[in-house]
Structure 1
Amino acid sequence: MLSRPFPRATALLMGLLLALPAAGQWTAPGWEDDAELPSLSAPDSRVANGEEYRLGRAWLRQFRARAPEWQDPIAQAYVESLLARLASHGGLGGTRLIVTLVDSHRLNAFAVPGGVVGVNAGLFAFADQEAELVSVLAHELGHLAQRHYSRGKARAEQTQVPAMAAMLAGMLIAAAGGGDAGIGVAMGSQAAFIQDQLAYSRRYEQEADRLGLQTMVEAGYDPEAMTSMLRAMQRLASLQGGTPPEFLLTHPLTESRISDTASRASRLSGQGRRDDVQYHLVRARALLAIHSRTPDQAATRLAQDEAPQEAKRYLEALINAERGNTDAALRRLDALAHALPDITLIPASAAEVAFSAGRIDDAIERSQRLLRLVPGHVPTTLTLAEAQLQRDPDAAWHLLRDLAKRRPEDHRVFALLAEAAGRSGREALGHLARAEHQQLTGRITDAIRQLGVARRVAERGGNAAATARIEQRYEAFLGYRETLEKFQ
């Protein structure tokens, strides 16, 4: 369910689109020593023009404000790595994709213009094997690579902005759990356009399937997994009657589509790679997120699906950690890490467990040891930064400042950066980081207020450099709000 109502969705998204600056003009502030963060607008012409990119980023901010987020840096890193591998084979090499994970048991994934890809925890629960998950992601990347959004609205050039905003408004509600209500809202103001375009056309579905199949083969996956995944969705849809999976609301599934996919998959050469144990570990995390109140159900589901023993032991460790049996959890994770030394997420999970249990020094030691082996690993860097906030806020600040340069769209990094700035005596920059976190999560009015506080603190401290940076962001944020107000 949505966490709050979604009034005037289409107008709001149109306002955000018009409020966002042209591609290449939106840069985040520097933090110190004239170190500038990279541009937030760097669209790849193969995926999106400036309009699509801006709308996609506006959509993402509204989605973050309203949808239940699955906050799991380890699962996030896995999906980002998987998508990067697929994108390099699917005509999207060099494209900067933004991943958002949704805390929902429903089967869904989606791609939004500008390179935004969303994945529900429920997709992991539904896909028994990595190749099945890959088939869905490869299909979504096919839509992006073929630019189906812009092609679909080409004949409606005079109304492309409101029509596209309406379509994404409906997707926002559907993706967040609104189901058919999302399509109903979208069709309200653009019925003729949306009827033809909210659900991808059969031709576009076929194009995305075919490109997805080729991407799978080139990335080393068995293309037959796409056929099995489509048939599994078809069975689920028949069982659910009038309420098919969210994915099928915008991706029409027909017998001819399945037959075409099966025929092409059988003709494509390529050996499927051995199922990655790492997938089953992330799937265990997804099942635990879905069954957070009844973790034994997650273990039962994993056992029923004949998951590898390593995944079962990993889930047992996580359940032990959830129940406060930290020593048992760490023993299991350390044993698994010894048996599977190439899977970084296992020692990363151990560091996370130690931190969550309040074992700060252990978390720091584990994180630093892992980062010496895998420099820059994002989940471990976040764990280390959170732990360092308790011991050395200045060290946490430097860690997070560098991470913010690498991940300028990661709102969690800016939330921690704000805390580190405050604890290390950088009060003005702390308010600035908090404002950036708020605008990344769709709270532009709160962000403007926060910038006002930041400016007063910087002026009071005589920090001219910080004042100039804050003023630059303040003017930009005011422009966003003024445009938004025209549509409220």
Structure 2
Amino acid sequence: MLALSLAPPGALAQGTTGNANLPTLGDSARGDLSPVFERRIGEAIMRDIRRDRDFLDDQPILEYLNGFGASLVAAHPGARGETGADYYFFAVRDPMLNAFALPGGFIAVHSALLLAAQSESELAAVLSHEIGHVAQRHIARMIGQQKQDALIPLAAMLLAALVARASTDAAVGVAMGGQGLAIQRQLDFSQDAEREADRVGFQIMGAAGYDTSGMVAFFSRMQTASRAYSDLTPAWLRSHPLTSERISDIQSRIRETPYRQRADSIEFHLVRARARVLQDESASGLAAARAAFEAQLAQQNRQQLSAAHYGLAYVALKKGELAKAAASLASARAALERKEAAVFSAGPKGSDGGAMFTSLALEIKLAPGQTALVQQQVVAEAEQAYQRYPLSRGIARQYASALINAGKLDNATRYLREQVQLYREEPKLHELLAKVYSAQGKLALQHMALAESYALGGGLLAALNQLTLARKAGDATFYDNALIDAQEREWQKRQREEMKEQEENK
């Protein structure tokens, strides 16, 4: 809620003149909200978002969005802004067309917007726009504007108190006028920020090699939708009000830019298929997704055909139809490999969707209901997948799950201990480690691992409770108790600091 009060849910825009470098903000904005505090606000909001059921905690989607977003950021020297923003991209389950930037570089996309984007260039347009908001520090600037505008209604209310002696109606008029002026100033700021974000977003997606006409295509389609929906205007348009002037400005920039065609990667289509399934996992939602994928099978484009089979495989997995899921996944791979298909570009850096196909294959074999034989066989497959795709955190965790399901607990413990040393900020690794310790009957270590997981998720109180349980478990060694005491002191100190900071910022 804090983030939404600081900035419109959609993103704020960035802007600039036509220069290739992003402008540097003045000291006033920097003083209103320091980069460190801005990031801390974003991290606090993200802790709440991650606990929300509508946070799409789906590793293939997260890996795609962060890889895609990172390529946009890397393409433009000024995309990180003066604060050197460290970006994190994620998706939330929501039927409204929307995307938004939080303080500190956290950028979200609604599942509906993923489905509405008809190409990667259109998705690049939205994410580049949001990156522009972060790079230009629009939230910090908006807070500075709000502090100034707070004086306007205050002065108006003081004046109204004097006028009220003569006329109550006149006093109301004075007060409303002051509020209206403050609101208008905020609207003016928002519109300027949106124009900035358009311009910087245009620069970013162009530098990354995407078709810049995707920006005007997506924005124009959303503007048309706003006329059709009336009061049901998509959220992205309410928080990113489009004007003909903005679209015309983008069109004029496109005319000055050489045309560049960009083929979509297969991952884009596969991610959209996953988003369609995850957007509504009810029985009716899965039935609607299946119908959409079956209709998509009529497409001649092999990427679309492959994505349709992939989506059917994912629907079958959600329904527990494991044999059907495996068969549909095999069809998805076969459709992509058809020799008679038109010339196909694999996308950036020869991307072929292999990691996503492999991940879903493992997901099917790790699903509840699989035979003991499959659970044993999947260990070797998961290890090979981990070696082939070492940067995939999802596959890394699937390998750990395969070891646990196969009863190879000692191997799982060694592997996960190595992983938590390499990726200390990954809560799910600690959760898996706690699962292994539980199976081994190591209660103190189980509670210590859970404590780490809760602390990384922002639940310091729950983490401290787990440390108390670890101390009382009875099997804690002298070394374990020393670690428990040290961690408890650290988290208690952090908890006091957070409470003090909350009091100071009330």
Q: Same fold (TM over 0.5)?
A: yes
Residue 281 (structure 1) shift = 0.8
Mean Cα deviation higher: 204-213 or 437-446: 437-446
The reply on whether 1:342 has 2:352 as its aligned counterpart is yes
Kept in 2: contact 1:113–1:144 (CA 8 A): yes
Partner residue of 1:374?
389
The reply on whether 1:151 has 2:141 as its aligned counterpart is yes
Within 2, Cα distance between the matches of 1:389 and 1:138? 41
Within 1, Cα distance between the matches of 2:468 and 2:183? 41
Aligned mate of 1:467, from 475, 484, 492: 484
Kept in 1: contact 2:91–2:111 (CA 8 A): yes
The reply on whether 1:322 has 2:338 as its aligned counterpart is no
Distance 1:207 1:470, change over 3 A: same
For structure 2, the residue ranges without an aligned partner over 5 or more in a row are 7-32, 151-178, 338-350
Kept in 2: contact 1:337–1:347 (CA 8 A): no
Aligned mate of 2:447, from 431, 434, 437: 431
Residue 409 (structure 1) shift = 4.7
Within 2, Cα distance between the matches of 1:383 and 1:257? 46
C-alpha distance after superposition, 1:266-292 (max 9, x if no partner): 322251321112111110111111242
The reply on whether 1:126 has 2:116 as its aligned counterpart is yes
C-alpha distance after superposition, 1:384-417 (max 9, x if no partner): 2222222223433444444445555544344333
User: Aligned partner of 1:430: which letter?
Assistant: Q
Distance 1:473 1:203, change over 3 A: same
Residue 155 (structure 1) shift = 4.8
Mean Cα deviation higher: 191-200 or 101-110: 191-200
Partner residue of 2:207?
218
Query: Residues 51-70 of structure 1 correspond to what in structure 2 (within 5 A)?
Result: 51-66=37-52, 68-70=54-56
Residue 159 (structure 1) shift = 10
Partner residue of 1:264?
253
Residue 363 (structure 1) shift = 3.2
Mean Cα deviation higher: 253-262 or 75-84: 253-262
Q: Secondary structure at the match of 1:99?
A: strand
Within 2, Cα distance between the matches of 1:387 and 1:198? 53
Kept in 1: contact 2:447–2:469 (CA 8 A): yes
User: Aligned partner of 1:351: which letter?
Assistant: L
The reply on whether 1:297 has 2:288 as its aligned counterpart is yes
Mean Cα deviation higher: 417-426 or 285-294: 417-426
Residue 10 (structure 1) shift = 5.2
Q: How many residues align?
A: 419
The reply on whether 1:483 has 2:500 as its aligned counterpart is yes
Residue 455 (structure 1) shift = 4.4
Query: Residues 62-101 of structure 1 correspond to what in structure 2 (within 5 A)?
Result: 62-66=48-52, 68-90=54-76, 91-92=78-79, 95-101=85-91
Partner residue of 1:142?
132
Kept in 1: contact 2:309–2:331 (CA 8 A): no
User: Aligned partner of 1:238: which letter?
Assistant: R
Higher relative contact order, chain-length normalized (CA < 8 Å, sep 6+): 1
Distance 1:236 1:440, change over 3 A: farther
User: Aligned partner of 1:312: which letter?
Assistant: A
The reply on whether 1:102 has 2:102 as its aligned counterpart is no
Within 1, Cα distance between the matches of 2:411 and 2:234? 46
Aligned mate of 2:404, from 376, 389, 407: 389
Within 2, Cα distance between the matches of 1:101 and 1:397? 31
Aligned mate of 1:445, from 439, 452, 461: 461
User: Aligned partner of 1:329: which letter?
Assistant: A
Distance 1:357 1:210, change over 3 A: same
Q: Secondary structure at the match of 1:88?
A: helix
Residue 382 (structure 1) shift = 1.7
Distance 1:10 1:231, change over 3 A: closer
The reply on whether 1:253 has 2:242 as its aligned counterpart is yes
User: Aligned partner of 1:60: which letter?
Assistant: M
Residue 78 (structure 1) shift = 0.7
Within 1, Cα distance between the matches of 2:498 and 2:135? 32
Within 2, Cα distance between the matches of 1:373 and 1:227? 39
The reply on whether 1:309 has 2:305 as its aligned counterpart is yes
Partner residue of 2:166?
none
Distance 1:431 1:272, change over 3 A: farther
Distance 1:471 1:320, change over 3 A: closer
Residue 225 (structure 1) shift = 0.6
Residue 444 (structure 1) shift = 3.8
Residue 375 (structure 1) shift = 1.9
Q: TM-score, normalised by structure 2?
A: 0.73
Mean Cα deviation higher: 302-311 or 70-79: 302-311
Distance 1:324 1:153, change over 3 A: closer
Within 1, Cα distance between the matches of 2:451 and 2:188? 36
For structure 1, the residue ranges without an aligned partner over 5 or more in a row are 1-8, 15-46, 161-189
Partner residue of 1:352?
363
User: Aligned partner of 2:120: which letter?
Assistant: E
Within 1, Cα distance between the matches of 2:332 and 2:399? 21
User: Aligned partner of 1:419: which letter?
Assistant: K
Q: Secondary structure at the match of 2:366?
A: helix
User: Aligned partner of 1:114: which letter?
Assistant: G
- Share of identical aligned residues, percent? 29
C-alpha distance after superposition, 1:245-273 (max 9, x if no partner): 22223222222112212221232225132
Structure 1 vs Structure 2 CA RMSD: 3.5
Q: Secondary structure at the match of 2:478?
A: coil
User: Aligned partner of 2:223: which letter?
Assistant: Q
C-alpha distance after superposition, 1:209-268 (max 9, x if no partner): 111112112212101111111112112222221232222232222221122122212322
Within 2, Cα distance between the matches of 1:281 and 1:199? 40
